[in-house]
Amino acid sequence: MINRKEIAIILLMALLLAGVFMLVTRVDNANSGAQTQFVYDAVQNAALTCYAVEGTYPTDLTYLRENYGLAYDESRYMVYYDAFGANVVPEIYVTEVEADA
């Protein structure tokens, strides 16, 4: 028969495992957000560099890849880049693509 001390130890271990799981999940989510921000910053910096050098913002991401070395994992991140004017800062949105489970 299991006594109270053994039950308390089992419950404590279960709580400890749940806490570790929650901590790992939180760290993974924070890391994912930081990587998404890194991709956003890379796109924005490439566009600003192009504007500084050429005097206009590029019309699409292909131009930034070919001429300014922009690179990111396209299978992992979706980048929305909308340049609606040569002298207007483009709209940039980056989202992480959900991985197939």
- pLDDT value at 32 more than 80: no
What is the number of other CB atoms lying within 10 angstroms of the CB of residue 79? 17
CA distance 51 to 43: 12
**Three-state secondary structure readout of 28-78:** HHHHHHHHHHHHHHHHHHHHHHHHHHHCCCCCCHHHHHHHHCCCCCCCCEE
CA distance 97 to 79: 10
- Residue-range domain boundaries for the chain: 4-96
Predicted TM-score (pTM) of the model is 0.69
* DSSP class of 94: E
**Which percentage of the chain shows pLDDT scores above 90?**
48
* 57-87 residue pLDDT tens: 999 999 999 999 999 999 999 999 998 888 8
Q: What is the pLDDT of residue 42?
A: 94
Mean pLDDT (the chain) is: 85
- pLDDT value at 19 more than 80: no
